[in-house]
């Protein structure tokens, strides 16, 4: 039997991914045992403390074993963290060192949502693909510039390390792992039992573009304001750079450093965000929304929209329109 460890980090306030992981893998074990007369995993909650409180003491999780007492581990699941990532890293140095040790021994590691911050602190994600909650992407990129963060990604799988996007999309990662460690039949059973859309592969449709203004470059902030106020118009970024008395090359360099996007990419994101809001709250057709946000080429609009949301415009409208 293989050994599965679900970590319980110290000082955290997110219990759902711990309980959810335990429940889903337990049900997968039960089903597989009924079908094949054996379990795949021995599941244990592990950490460095005997008990960790959540939600200001309203809930608590008791660990079953200390990480130092674990020998061979096949798979480690790191749950999502609360939003004080520096605190999470500071409170869990032993867990971070243990992750490095176990990975070197051949253990596979899966992170749920913002659990990627804890794994990234170990250096194991350097120069590798990673996904995390869309709302934390800017913070993550600045904190871990060596990691290849995939914007809008749901699941990554690289060299025995798995990561996933935000919130309850972790259930898709768990199904992915069930299919790998158990079989497709068990994954389908779990998807039906927990009513999880097994085909989801992106969190882009759920993301809300917030402007990427967590930086101190005043020129870029002013440029962002110009783009957001005039996103329907054709903007000359050459002229915009001249307005700020800097070269176009320097303007692009500063913009990319501050936001992670080229100016034209930033404008595309602003346009698509406006289109998303229109699809959600109006009865306008695709062409009307396209023209409203400054596109005249249907193919170009559809291509950019699907690239940034993971859905075609008509699919997005049908899925999220409140009318």
pLDDT, one tens digit per residue, over 190-234 is 888 888 876 555 545 545 566 677 788 999 999 998 998 898 898
pTM over 0.85: no
Q: What is the mean pLDDT of the chain?
A: 88
Specify the number of domains making up the chain. 2
**pLDDT level of residue 169 (50, 70, 90 thresholds):** confident
Same domain membership, residue 222 and residue 201: no
Please indicate, yes or no, if residue 184 is contained in any of the structural domains: yes
Q: Distance (Å, rounded) from C-alpha 294 to C-alpha 271?
A: 7
Q: Distance (Å, rounded) from C-alpha 17 to C-alpha 169?
A: 10
| Residue 133 contacts residue 165 (beta carbons within 8 Å) | yes
Same domain membership, residue 162 and residue 96: yes
Structural domain containing residue 35:
2-205
User: Is the per-residue pLDDT at 321 higher than 80?
Assistant: no
Please indicate, yes or no, if residue 212 is contained in any of the structural domains: no
Same domain membership, residue 226 and residue 114: no
**Among 72-76, 109-113, 155-159, 310-314, whose mean pLDDT is lowest?**
155-159
CA–CA distance from 219 to each of 9, 191, 216, 227, 322 (Å)?
40, 49, 9, 12, 38
Is the pLDDT higher at 83 or at 160? 160
Please indicate, yes or no, if residue 75 is contained in any of the structural domains: yes
Q: Distance (Å, rounded) from C-alpha 194 to C-alpha 22?
A: 13
Please indicate, yes or no, if residue 163 is contained in any of the structural domains: yes
């Amino acid at each position: 039997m293989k050994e599965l460890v679900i970590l319980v980090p110290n000082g955290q306030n997110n219990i759902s991914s711990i309980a959810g992981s335990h429940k889903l893998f337990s049900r997968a074990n039960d089903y597989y045992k009924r079908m094949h007369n054996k379990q795949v995993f021995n599941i244990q909650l592990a950490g460095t403390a005997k008990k960790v409180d959540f939600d200001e003491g309203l809930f608590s999780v008791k660990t079953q074993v200390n990480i130092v007492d674990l020998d061979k581990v096949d798979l480690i699941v790191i749950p999502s963290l609360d939003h004080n990532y520096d605190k999470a890293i500071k409170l869990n140095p032993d867990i971070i060192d243990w992750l490095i040790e176990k990975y070197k021994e051949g253990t596979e590691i899966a992170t749920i949502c913002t659990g990627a911050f804890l794994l990234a602190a170990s250096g194991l994600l350097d120069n590798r693909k990673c996904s995390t909650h869309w709302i934390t992407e800017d913070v993550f990129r600045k904190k871990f510039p060596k990691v290849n963060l995939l914007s809008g990604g749901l699941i990554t799988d690289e060299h025995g390390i798995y990561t996933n996007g935000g919130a309850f999309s972790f259930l898709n990662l768990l199904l992915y792992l069930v299919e790998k460690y158990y079989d497709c039949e068990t994954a389908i059973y779990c998807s039906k039992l927990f009513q999880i859309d097994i085909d989801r592969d992106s969190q882009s449709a759920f993301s809300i573009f917030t402007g990427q203004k967590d930086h101190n470059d005043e020129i870029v902030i002013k440029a962002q304001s110009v783009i957001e106020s005039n996103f329907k118009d054709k903007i000359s970024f050459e002229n915009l750079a001249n307005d700020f008395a800097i070269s176009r090359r320097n303007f692009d360099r500063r913009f990319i450093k501050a936001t992670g996007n080229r100016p034209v990419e930033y404008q595309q994101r602003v346009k698509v965000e406006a289109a998303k809001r229109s699809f959600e709250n109006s009865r306008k057709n695709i062409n009307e929304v396209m023209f409203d946000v400054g596109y005249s080429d249907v193919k170009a609009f559809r291509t950019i929209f699907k690239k940034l949301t993971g859905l075609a415009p008509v699919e997005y409208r049908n899925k999220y329109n409140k009318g």
